[in-house]
Each structure stands twice: as C-alpha cells, then as structure tokens.
Amino acid sequence: MISTMTPAERRVYHRIRQDILTRGRAPSYDELADVAGTKGNAHRIVSQLVAAGHLHRVPGRNRGISLAPGADTYTIHLAPEIDGPLLALAVACDEVPEVIIARALADYLRRAA
C-alpha cells in the first residue's frame, strides 16, 4: 500500500501516522505544510490519500483525518484485566489508549534490543 504512494504522499502519510500514534490526533493542515510545501499542497495530498483509501476524513471534527482501517495499523484484542486498567490510565493521563500502547511497546523493544 505504501509503495503505491508518491514521495510527497508518503511524507504526508507518515507525518499524519506519526502524530496520530504519538500525540493521539492528526496534525493540522498548517503542520502538514511543513512536509507538503504549502497548506494547499497538504489539502491536495490528503484528498489523494483519502481517494486511494489510505486515510479517512472524519466530518465535523477539527483535524478530522484518521488512518484507514488496516492501513499500516494493527488491531489487538485485550483481555478485560488489561483493558480496564488501560482505559483508566488513558483517562488519568488524558491520552488515547493507542498512544499509551505505542509508547509501552517502543520502550519494550528498546530494552529488548
């Protein structure tokens, strides 16, 4: 899927993915202009990525861009004894669970290397 993208599309996609996974939200179009060149280019490239099925728009939401299901993402099913505490931690830290999981996995992989 990633290999069918142009270099500009790949840069914008990776920036969006990085922000969603590390900050819990998509970047603004102003922030995407840093990798797309201009805000207009960012809009055009996001539209191309949506049309290609790499991204989805979330209508009515600020920064309303999400990764398409299965697009370079993973789905995991957590046991209730893990899911409950994870959700409580997410609320306490004002984070989304995916960000907490991504950070924990990154820490684990760093230690394992």
What fold characterizes domain 2-67?
Arc Repressor Mutant, subunit A (1.10.10)
68: three-class secondary structure by DSSP: coil
Cα(70)–Cα(82) distance, integer angstroms: 23
Q: Where are the domains of the chain?
A: 2-67, 80-112
Pairing of strands 65-67, 55-57: antiparallel
CB of 36 within 8 A of CB of 12? yes
In this predicted model, what pLDDT tens digit does every residue of 66-101 receive, in sequence order?
888 766 566 778 888 998 898 888 888 877 777 788
pLDDT band at 111 (very low <50, low <70, confident <90, very high): very high
pLDDT band at 26 (very low <50, low <70, confident <90, very high): very high
Cα(26)–Cα(15) distance, integer angstroms: 9
pLDDT band at 21 (very low <50, low <70, confident <90, very high): confident
Residue 18 has which token pair? 């990085």
